[in-house]
A and B are shown apart, each in its own frame.
Chain A
Amino acid sequence: MSEFFPLRQSGNKNYCALCGFSASFAVSFYMKIRQFYIELTFHYGALINAYGKARQPDKAREVFDDMTAKGLKPNETIYGALVNAYGQAGQPEDAEKILRNLPEGLNLSSQTLGYLYNLVIKGYGRANRVEDVNRLKEEMLQKGLPIDVYTLGATGSVYDRMGTLNDETRSLRSREAEQWKELATLFGDVVHELNQPVGAIGLGVSTVKRYFEKGDRGNTLKFLEKLRLQVQFLGERMQVYKALTERSNAEETHRVSDMVSGVEELLRHYAEKAHVRIDIQITDDNKWKQALYLRGDKFLFQMAIRGLVYNAIQACSEESIPLERRHIIIRGIFTPSRPDEQSVAPYGWVDIYVRDEGPGIPPGIRERIFERGFSTKKGRGLGLGLTLAQSVAEHYGGRIVLMPEIATGVEFWLRLPAAPEP
């Protein structure tokens, strides 16, 4: 027997060649079957996708049912194709039903689940269902699913098509940029902030004077050094404001991420004091390979962004807002312009979204928030921040929109014409 199936020696283990042959045959057979199933699944997926593109979701469903009847397990791509089929055919409710009834065993990553959500959002977007688009976007935020450029692109498109004019959304009237005098009033808050280090320096001078009068040389020198450090700190703060107020040439191009960082630095003190976290997500690395740039007066752009972020900090600072909700997200994305927008935004749009998780804006007040002098801050706000942001947006041919149907907090969308990378 051993001459036909000679025993091989390998280290300390002996095994039969026939057994080795059988095993390799079994592995090869398994691999072929597996490959067959993978290819079959792929072909089913392609078929569902094709029916989806042909806007025949019922046919796509038939193929899907046939596939499952044969014992094949649809993967996330197949589910995506089916969801998309219903979405493209103008049946987003059916697309959502599939999303809601995904089998438990799929074990989807948050990225994949986000992808499926985006397909449903896209479907609702096609059907101009603004409320549903926002509802799902909110749900994504609640579940911690990644909101990416595709989600925002889908929501942006639907607002575009809807003209952003319904009861809940305020597209804003055209208006000249506010006068400089009014811009300057916003600096009342800057003065308030500088009051702290200036106050500390004033007290420090009194302390040094007292020690000097007492003839206490050691403490006089000690507190003089402390005073020097306080003056240095004040100088550093002044640099931040100086950078903000430097008027730039109207033809200069500015990187959005730099401007947003500048605003964050300007407001960091307020944010830290109120325990508010600020997340900045500027997607310079997008599928259009368009880093975000704006052309014009940097001061005006930063004042517009500042107005939105400052309001968000104020909203999060409300006494009733717990620590975990003291959070602001500033998102910046690129959106290509439509053919009819080429004259205003030949290089596309820069969309900046400022989102907070504060108490939100009551329905009765939503209509009034862009009015000059209107403030919900009980005497503390000047009521000019949003009006100025609106003026700046419209000055450059953009706009500002209060996003409707936000479950928690408020989101403003600032749209400005993009500039090419210098």
Chain B
Amino acid sequence: MKVIIIDDEASFADSLKDLVQVEGYEAEVYHTLKQAREGLEGADEPMVVLLDHDFRDVGEKDQVGYDFCGWLRENHPFGLLLPIIYLTGRETTEHFLKQQRDNPFVHPSAYISKDQLASDQELLPNLLKQYQEQFERIRELSEKQGVQQALIGFRDMEPEDSNYYEAE
């Protein structure tokens, strides 16, 4: 499992990469969304994405965090199951739930603030471990069921199918 870090705060992204690596995962850092799009075009391996929520890239109109999240979910075979974590301290639970209901494709798997990551030393290792186990389960399911949907069936799923996602 690879960990993708997308943040224009170079020092923070760099420190995050160090921590991810010492936990034994491969890490890739992108400082602009444009670079991230180029680097992740065609990616199909299991990965966790840590995305700065306040990211604003210059040059492309749709290059804000939400759009990037949507693009990634639409293009990666894991679709809605791809763990994307927004790094922010600004969001509320209410907004989190609303977004989950309204537009699951741009809805992240979690919101974590940078100070939470910095002060809780076990948070990131535990999260990464949890996602790794989740990928393992998906692999086992696909082997058992032999059904494409178990692994990658989310690509063609419409946002209205959120009931399915919630049931999960």
A337 at the interface (CB under 8 A from B): no
B41 at the A interface (CB under 8 A): no
**Residues of A contacting B18 with CB < 8 Å?**
203-204, 207, 223, 226
**Pair A196/B19 contact, Cβ less than 8 Å:** no
Counting residue pairs across A and B whose Cβ atoms lie within 8 Å, the total is 72
Chain B residue at smallest Cβ distance from A216: B22
Q: Check B9 against A196 for contact (C-beta < 8 Å).
A: yes
Q: Are A203 and B9 in contact (CB under 8 A)?
A: no
| A203 & B16 in contact (Cβ 8 Å cutoff) | yes
Q: Is A203 in contact with B15, judged by CB distance below 8 angstroms? A: yes
How many whole Å from B6's CB to the nearest CB in chain A?
Answer: 14
User: Contact at A198–B56, with CB atoms within 8 Å?
Assistant: no
Nearest CB of chain A from residue B10's CB, rounded to whole Å = 9
- For residue B118, CB closer than 8 A to chain A, the reply is yes
Instruction: Tell me the bound Cα distance from A319 to B23 in angstroms.
Output: 37
Indicate if the CB atoms of B56 and A200 lie closer than 8 Å. no
Interface centre among A209, A214, A319, A326, by most B CB within 10 Å? A319
- Asked whether B145 is an interface residue with its Cβ less than 8 Å from the other chain, the reply is no
The interface residues of chain A, by DSSP majority, are classed as: helix
Bound complex: CA A197 to CA B10 (Å): 10
Minimum C-beta distance from B22 to chain A (A): 4
Bound-state Cα–Cα, A314 to B19, Å: 33
Cβ-based interface call for B12 (8 A): yes
CB contact list, A84-114 vs B, under 8 A: none
Range class of the A interface residue count: 20 to 34
Interface membership of chain A positions 187-205, coded 1 if the CB is closer than 8 angstroms to chain B and 0 otherwise: 0000000011111111111
Contact A202–B11 (Cβ < 8 Å): no
Contact B115 A207 (CB under 8 A): no
Are A195's CB and B117's CB within 8 A?
no
| Cβ contact of A207, chosen from B8, B11, B22, B61, cutoff 8 A | B22
Cα A233 to Cα B14 in complex, Å, equals 15
Chain A positions 168-222 with a Cβ under 8 Å from a chain B Cβ: 195-207, 209-211, 214, 219
Structural contact, B23 and A195, CB atoms closer than 8 A: no
B150 CB–A CB distance under 8 Å: no
Provide the bound-state CA to CA distance between A95 and B134, in Å: 77
Which residues between 313 and 340 of chain A lie within 8 Å of chain B, taking CB atoms? 317, 319-320, 323, 326
Interface-centre pick from A197, A205, A207 (highest chain B CB count, 10 A): A207
B57 → chain A, closest Cβ, in Å? 9
A204 to B115, CA, bound (A): 13
CB distance from A248 to the nearest CB of B (A): 32
Chain A contacts for B89, CB-based, 8 A = 195
Q: How far is the CA of A326 from the CA of B59 in the complex (A)?
A: 12
B121 within 8 A of A: yes
Which residue from chain A places its CB closest to the CB of B11 in the assembled complex? A200
Q: Which residues of A contact B (CB under 8 A)?
A: 195-207, 209-211, 214, 219, 223, 226, 230, 233, 273-275, 317, 319-320, 323, 326, 380
Which 3 A-B pairs give the minimum distances between C-beta atoms?
Answer: A202-B118, A199-B114, A203-B15
Q: Can you give 5 A-B contacts (C-beta < 8 A)?
A: A195-B115, A199-B15, A202-B115, A202-B118, A323-B58
